Amino acid sequence: MGAKAKLVVALAAGLIAVGGQALTIDFRPRPSKLETYRDWTIACDNRARCEAVSLFPEGGEWPEKPVMVGVVRDAGADADAEVWASGSDGLGHGAVSFHVDGRKIASAAVKDDEARILGPQASALAIAMARGSVLEVRVNDVIVGRPSISGVAAALRFMDARQGRAGTVTALLATGPLGRSAVRPAPKAPVIQRAAVPQDIRPAALWREELAAAGRMTQCAEEWSEDGPQPQLFALSRSQTLVLLPCGSGAYNFNSAPLIATGVAGRRSFAWALFDFPPGWNPDEGNPMLVNAGFTPETSRLDSFAKGRGIGDCGGSESYVWDGARFRLIEATSMGECRGAWHWLTTWAAMVSQ
């Protein structure tokens, strides 16, 4: 075996030798944490793509039809900032304008219930928000919202630092004399090889004995009833079946235990599904538990999302694809502040190879 082949084998095993010692290479996803500055929260994912959104002021009155504003920017020297506005009931139709301390800074047409500001207008608006006191969002010159801009300056400075822009001409706030070549390049997203699952197999429903065995193993037996949601079964291969076993529910969250079944119907055995990163909620024993789960066979995709409360202004989600052995994280979002931000922020992203 040649040197190159040996290196490939070592990397595939997750081990390389350095100084005579074996070091484990950790390929596990690491979703980022959110940072909150007064009435703004921000996340920068593994690609250094950053997005910040406005929150309702703590203790303040919530408007009847809230409007949220966000600033998003990809990493890399050539990426420009974008500013968007969204209303809980849409923004209607017409022209949206952004006014800071009474001065109109930027405008755009409503499209798909949002207004997006791009290019130099977006940078000018973001900077004006950071330096201003009051932001007004107007539709056809009628004020529809005054999102707080308290804390946006700190959030944008965090964005400049996280993307390696501080001290360069590309920074929004932490500007300096360095040129675009000094900006860190955007990190590459990992690539996950998706395993196609059979489209022509419809697994048989669990027999009563199998359901009892799965319930005992997961400790979900007391949470299941014949009148409630039923187990969902999806073929992952000719010999493996994904079982989403109901395991309790609340007012707006429904729990499922993810299992892999093998064997013939009536005598199937069960094991917990494997994940390279656990879903957002886990029992103390460490077994995965999905919330509001759904599986899409056409894309081998498994989704889970948990609301922090019914209106959906906080919570988290994870999306996975099946790689033939385990579920691999391809996207994670989060919103840790229950303060009116219905747009959750991306904390991890991967590309899927078909």
pLDDT tens, 96-135? 999 999 999 999 999 988 999 999 999 999 999 999 999 9
List pLDDT tens digits, range 179-228: 999 999 999 999 999 999 999 999 999 999 999 999 999 999 988 888 88
Residue 290 and residue 314 in one domain: yes
Residue 216 and residue 312 in one domain: yes
List pLDDT tens digits, range 50-85: 999 999 999 878 888 899 999 999 999 999 999 999
Confidence of residue 285 (pLDDT cuts 50, 70, 90): low
Range of the domain at 12: 1-29
Domain boundary, last residue among 188, 216, 243: 188
List pLDDT tens digits, range 228-265: 889 999 999 999 999 999 999 888 999 999 999 999 99
% of the chain beyond a pLDDT of 70: 91
Residue 14 and residue 60 in one domain: no
Residue 209 and residue 291 in one domain: yes
Give the CATH number of the domain where residue 73 resides. 2.60.40.1880
Confidence of residue 13 (pLDDT cuts 50, 70, 90): very low
Domain boundary, last residue among 135, 162, 188: 188
Distances 188 to 48, 191, 350 between C-alpha atoms, Å:
9, 9, 9
Residue 61 and residue 160 in one domain: yes
Residue 226 and residue 268 in one domain: yes
From the list 253, 259, 299, 313, the residue with the least C-alpha distance to 280 is 253
Residue 142 and residue 44 in one domain: yes
| Mean pLDDT in residue range 141-168 | 97
Residue 21 and residue 76 in one domain: no
Phi-psi region of 48 (alpha: psi -120 to 50; beta: other; left: phi over 0): left
d(CA 324, CA 198) in angstroms, rounded, equals: 12
Residue 220 and residue 320 in one domain: yes
CB 291 within 8 A of CB 249: no
Confidence of residue 281 (pLDDT cuts 50, 70, 90): low
Q: For the chain, what is the domain count?
A: 3
% of the chain beyond a pLDDT of 90: 81
